[in-house]
Chains A and B, each alone.
Chain A
Amino acid sequence: MQWLDYPSNRGSVLRIALYGKGGIGKSTVSANLTAALGRMGLKVLQIGCDPKHDSTRLLLEGREPPTVMEMVRSSRREDMSLDSIVSRGYLGCLCVEAGGPEPGVGCAGRGILSTFELLDELGVDSLDADITVYDVLGDVVCGGFAVPLRNDYAEKVYVVSSGEFMSIYAANNILRGVRNYDPRRMAGIIFNSRGEPEEGERVRRFAAAVGLPVVAEIPRSPRFLDAERSGRTVVESDPGADLAQIFFRLASNVVEGDVMEASPLSDEELETVVLGKSPPPPIRRGGQEEPPPEGRREAPPAYTSRNVERKEVLHGCAFTGAVITCLSVEGLQTVMHSPDSCAHLSCQMAQNAARRAFVKEGVAIPSFLRPAAHCSSLDDPDMVFGGRPSLEEALQRAFERGNDVALVSSCPSGIIGDDVEEAARAVSASRPEGRVLTMLEDGNAAGDHMQGVIDACVALASGLIDPSAEPSDGLVNVVGIKPIATNNEMNMTYAEGILRRMGAAINCRFIGGTDIAGIEGFHRARHSILANTDRFALMLSRYLREEHGAEVLRSPLAPGLRGTLDWLGELAAATDRESAAEELAASLRQEYEEALPPLRQELQGRKACIISMHKDIDWLIDTLDDLGIDLLYAAVVDRSDHLMDYHVGNRHAGRIVLLEDYDMSTVVTDAMSRGPDILLSTYPVSTDGAVLQERIPMVPDIGHLAPLELARRWALGLKAPRREGWREDHG
């Protein structure tokens, strides 16, 4: 037969892709095309890119070959080879099936990505083939299923479509996918008829509208079914039939045909062209906001971080925020459903905090020193087939260490759609004494780091707080702890000392440096004090009031005498300890006033400027006033990555400029032009040593004398030379 003498393809591999909606018959078309190319004397490699892995069945006498993804799941990397996944079929054609997950789990697109990476790695290019045919599921042209469209792969793209609207809709989507890469690769439309009336017209109208030829019209025919019953293509079973000739002509087009630009239609155009509908009137949006980004969380949480509420760039991820919070609870096992990278970054944050606190203060949150962390270690096969087995293993490991488990989900877990809650239910069902508190953060789908901290606090409170705990006199909770702050333990020690002098004690540190019993017994204390007044603490305060009926005092633990006396006074009034508090206040005031004069002597009359990211700097301005330092300029710069994100409105608000839109170098120039002796800023700014720069701590030490400790540094700093010798050694 003449086709058998067709010249082999130019020495280089031609790669073509056939895309089409699932069930449209593209695998039958692909297999027949491969068979026809084979009969033309060409060596063909066909790669099926559909999880149902039946693309090459008709080339293999009905056998289903082992898939690439099965190999990935069952073999070690060093044992993988092309021999295990390449089958030889009709006329020596080479057959590969990507395979993929069961419906409803994992990520099939990821499976295609992994298949292509692995085939490249295993040297698929070394196979003896003139043409590679990719048979690709085209319902969803996500990043995975679009791999054959990348510039390194298919040079020609065919779309297989019937005349049904959804098939043409999928075809149009495929054109959109092609347009996102190199758009000039469209070879034409293959019309695979379902035998419906007028469907040929619809396909031809669509083809004309997108400027593509219909390169083959394949009629509905029982011959396909007959051939399939014997596990063969029509080309193999009856090569002389008219039907087979269609595939020979298509094969000829594959070798010789031109390529054109992908020019997809809009949805309205598509309906007009295919269904003959009039364009619909535009939908009035009437000032509506853009719809929220898609994600697993449908409504924003009730207690939000600033980034989430204002839809700002997310700083850090909710996963890490939640993990850190959980790790700070002694006795709680934290399971991270994530790749190792997410777990490593989170554990490092906890351990770094412990290391810094240990080096600086000699004490750290014990559970950070030895994180009770368990990662499901999601790997490539998990991403394709679903990570539930790995998650269940991690949960079992966690339960071997303790009965209380927090479970936090990462971005990959959310993307592949693992049913994390169901896995938790399944594992905990066999552990009647165990409980799992699930936090569906899905990495940063829930929001930024702070949102994760809030979410974890809420989840732990709702899961652990015992509403029946009996209140006990003299106990106080501290709410809004920042466990990764280096001075956390020191601040708590100070607060405990003050409370002890009032005949009181801390009940629960909510949350950081407490244990499970501490959270369970939250209601043993009638009152709670805020650890600070940033948005995080305020959100927790609101939550605890609304959901647990907690009485949270208005005045937070604070740096400086005034702040200390404020919370002391309020607590005393609430707990009938006024007389003890008055005596204590007098003592604190005296200590403060005794510490003030020597510092005032050194600093009085000096000039200072402030550039702060903290919005609560009343305590700092109080200190400057008490020391007789002239405040020349105080700017608070608004930043979305900073936690102190409540509004300026305190006692010194009139002396502070709030800058929401600013250029930092202008702010610095402005401050420096006033000639300060001291520049107080949250971070050093570039002034090349021209002025004494002192930092405003990210989390200030609390206590009546704490600001004076800072002032002591200022006084010493002013005795330093204006320009140190080391600055001369640059470069």
Chain B
Amino acid sequence: MAERCPESLMGAIMAFEGMAGSITAMNGPTGCKYYPASFSETVTRRGGFNPMLHDTLFYLGQSRVPCTYMDSSDYVSGARERMRALWDDSRSRRPSMLALINSPGASLIGEMLTFDGEAPPTVAMESPPPSASFSSGYETAMLATLEGLAPSPAEPREMTVNLLGISVADLGWEDSIADLRRLLSLCGVEVLCSPGAGWAPEDVQRSAGAALNVAVHDERAAMTSEWYRRNLNVPFVRCSSGAPLGFEALEEWLKEVCHALEADPSPALGRIAASRRRAHREISRLDQYAGLPRGCSFSLEGRPSLVWPALRSMHAYLGMVPVAVSMTEDGPCAAEVESYLRSIGCGEASTSVLDCPADVVLADGNTVAGVLGRGLSDCGVELDHPSLTPICIREDPLLGLGGTLRLIERSLQGLKR
């Protein structure tokens, strides 16, 4: 399982890549650079691999994550001079922020990542935690960013929030933020920024003035929210329903945010009620025609804050039954998932989504392809990158109201009886 899951190095790099206009420069071999760079190019919609266009020394055919291409001799004598050259090259490109990170091998030999000289705001991560979760790497990088850019305390602006825990590595991250922003806006709540996902250095200071930090993915928000609380006195709210996905979890999330801010959630709840009616129309047609979706099986894999609301939505709302549930890391929602599975008599559900036949499989695109390709399911719903459908022009959020309708629609799409 750990072999297939995004982990701490990816988490850290993606947190840095989430800063608009930044450069993440890696002191390490090309083997540690190619995949994160290619992933970043994909999820942030920047140029892809093309050695004819990105033919420069440290970039090696890609537009992102330049590296020092360490080899075995560098593990003996270090690559500090090459890293200095990369640092020089990077600062000359005038990025909004320069993030320096050691590969696991470079961190082992204790390569130092600080240099004297004028540079854009720079953060360094000399020892990314090895073999830890994506969230752990993400939050470590977030703290390094916040410490490095050091926002100062600001007078809180009423009815404003930051959305914590979203990463550019998340499927449809921009559209999810837009969807949540719209819903909150109906309640008179303004989203200042989403730290770690498309924010800019000026947003770092802006974020200090938020009246509230709101967890979207709580496994990635604990350390960051605590940092804001301790250093900037920004309070934090976490919704026990997990991420705002599925009608129930979305409504609860909105109510909790509004409650904390003393805002009125009714306008957003009204919008959701209209969508509920629309969904009801389609589901009842399917129910009358084929007795679906009740009793159909599904398997589900992802981080706990996604699995928990998706599980509730698929089971409690659609009436489908989980046959395999797997969480790619630990998090506050993991216990809720396990308890819920036991409460519905599915405590013994398989944890191997890749091996379990199901009417619908919900997971990252590669896992979905693995299940579909082996004939274990006919219908897959992607919850994470990499994606089976990499072209995305229409707004296609994973979370929020749009994400909820997407989850329902795509799950129903492949059902047969």
Contacts and interface: CB of A to CB of B under 8 A. Distances in A.
Interface in A358-391: 358-359, 363-364, 366, 369-371, 373-375, 377-380, 383
A378 B110 contact: no
B374 A366 contact: yes
Interface in B76-121: 76, 78, 80, 103-105, 107-112, 114
A444 interface: yes
B189 interface: no
Contacts of B196: none
Contact of A339 (B110, B131, B365, B366): B131
A316 B32 CA distance: 8
Nearest to A362: B373
B29 interface: yes
Contact of B31 (A354, A378, A444): A444
Contacts of B60: 313, 315, 641
Given A315-B60, A354-B369, A445 B104 contact: no
A313 B30 contact: yes
A341 B32 contact: yes
Residue of B55, B104, B109, B114 with highest tally of chain A CB at under 10 A:
B104
Interface string A333-375: 0001001111111011101101100110001101001110111
Interface stretch (A9-17, A22-30, A144-152): A144-152
A151 B114 contact: yes
B30 to A, nearest CB: 6
Given A294-B72, A315-B60, A443-B31, A370 B355 contact: yes
Contacts of B156: none
B373 A341 contact: no
A560 B8 CA distance: 46
A113 interface: yes
B234 interface: no
Contacts of A377: 2, 131
A315 B30 contact: yes
Nearest to A316: B31
Contact of A314 (B30, B61, B129, B132): B30
A150 B126 CA distance: 13
A371 B352 CA distance: 13
Contacts of A315: 30, 60
Given A317-B30, A358-B369, A664-B52, A445 B3 contact: no
Q: What size tier do the contact residues of chain B reach?
A: 35 or more
A316 B34 contact: yes
Interface in A604-618: 611, 613
A359 B387 CA distance: 11
A143 B111 contact: yes
Nearest to B108: A415
B354 A117 contact: no
Contact of B365 (A313, A355, A378): A355
Interface string A653-671: 0000000000010000000
Contacts of B66: none
B186 interface: no
Interface of B: 2-10, 29-32, 34-36, 50-53, 55, 60-61, 69-73, 75-76, 78, 80, 103-105, 107-112, 114, 127, 129-132, 354-355, 365-367, 369-370, 372-374, 386, 388
Interface of A: 107, 109-110, 113-114, 117, 142-144, 146-147, 150-151, 180-181, 293-296, 313-317, 319-320, 336, 339-345, 347-349, 351-352, 354-355, 358-359, 363-364, 366, 369-371, 373-375, 377-380, 383, 410-412, 414-416, 442-445, 448-449, 611, 613, 639, 641-642, 664, 681-686
Contact of A293 (B7, B8, B73): B73
A641 B51 contact: yes
Given A359-B388, A369-B374, A146 B110 contact: yes
Contacts of B10: 341, 344
Contact of A371 (B3, B51, B80): B3
B78 A340 contact: no
A70 B36 CA distance: 34
Contacts of A383: 108, 130
Contacts of A151: 114
Which residue among B69, B70, B108, B370 has the maximum number of chain A CB atoms within 10 Å of its CB? B108
Contacts of B108: 107, 109-110, 383, 411-412, 415-416
Contact of A354 (B34, B132, B373): B373
A371 B354 CA distance: 10
B380 to A, nearest CB: 11
A70 to B, nearest CB: 19
Nearest to A321: B31
Contacts of B53: 683-686
Contacts of A293: 71-73, 76
B67 to A, nearest CB: 10
Contacts of A664: 52, 55
25 contacts: A113-B107, A294-B73, A295-B72, A314-B29, A314-B30, A314-B31, A316-B31, A339-B104, A341-B7, A341-B104, A341-B131, A343-B3, A345-B34, A345-B35, A355-B366, A369-B374, A370-B354, A370-B355, A373-B3, A415-B108, A443-B29, A443-B105, A444-B31, A445-B71, A641-B61
A142 B109 contact: yes
A664 B73 CA distance: 31
A108 to B, nearest CB: 11
Nearest to A637: B52
Contacts of B34: 316, 345
B259 to A, nearest CB: 29
Nearest to B12: A341
A137 to B, nearest CB: 14
Contacts of A359: 369, 388
A345 B31 contact: yes
- The 6 A-B residue pairs with the shortest CB-CB distance, nearest first, are A143-B110, A293-B73, A317-B31, A411-B105, A295-B72, A341-B9
Contacts of B73: 293-295
Given A344-B10, A684-B52, A685-B53, 18 more contacts: A107-B108, A144-B109, A293-B71, A294-B73, A294-B76, A336-B3, A339-B9, A340-B3, A344-B5, A344-B6, A355-B386, A414-B75, A415-B108, A416-B108, A443-B105, A444-B71, A664-B55, A683-B51
B50 A683 contact: yes
B15 to A, nearest CB: 15
A664 B50 CA distance: 12
Contacts of B111: 143
B31 A344 contact: no
A378 B9 CA distance: 13
A586 B186 CA distance: 73
Contacts of A113: 107, 110, 127
Nearest to A611: B52
Contacts of A684: 50, 52-53
A643 B53 CA distance: 18
A195 to B, nearest CB: 36
Contacts of A348: 4, 35, 366, 386
A363 B375 CA distance: 11
Contacts of B80: 180
Contact of A343 (B2, B75, B110): B2
A683 B29 contact: no
A72 to B, nearest CB: 12
Contacts of A314: 29-31, 69, 71
A684 B49 CA distance: 11
Contacts of A613: 51
B110 A342 contact: no
A355 B388 contact: yes
A94 to B, nearest CB: 25
A370 B3 CA distance: 11
A374 B9 CA distance: 18
A274 to B, nearest CB: 25
Given A314-B30, A354-B369, A109 B110 contact: yes
Contact of B131 (A180, A369, A378, A611): A378
A679 to B, nearest CB: 11
